[in-house]
Amino acid sequence: MGTRRRARELALQLLYQFELTDAAPEEMQAGFEEWRNASDSVREFADNLLRGTLERLAKIDEELGHQTTHWRLERLAAVDRNILRLAMFELIFETDTPHAVVIDEAIEIAKKFGTKDSGRFVNGVLDGFVKRRAAAG
Cβ atoms of 94 and 52 closer than 8 Å:
yes
What is the domain count for the chain? Answer: 1
pLDDT of residue 134: 87
Question: pTM surpassing 0.95?
Answer: no
Q: What is the pLDDT of residues 67-79, one digit of tens each?
A: 887 778 888 899 9
Give me the domain span that covers residue 18.
3-136
Q: Give, for all 137 residues of the chain, the pLDDT tens digit.
A: 689 999 999 999 999 999 999 899 999 899 899 999 999 999 999 999 999 999 999 999 999 988 887 778 888 899 999 999 999 999 999 989 999 999 999 999 999 999 999 999 999 999 999 998 888 87
Output the domain CATH number for residue 107. Answer: 1.10.940.10
Cβ-in-10-Å burial (0-12, 13-18, 19+) of 98 comes to exposed
Q: Find all residues with CB under 8 Å of 82, minimum gap 6, and list them.
A: 12, 15, 16, 19
pLDDT of residue 59: 96
User: For residues 100 and 59, what is the distance between their CA atoms, to the nearest angstrom?
Assistant: 22
Question: How many degrees, rounded to 5, is the angle at CA 59 between CA 130 and CA 17?
Answer: 100
Cβ atoms of 122 and 114 closer than 8 Å:
yes
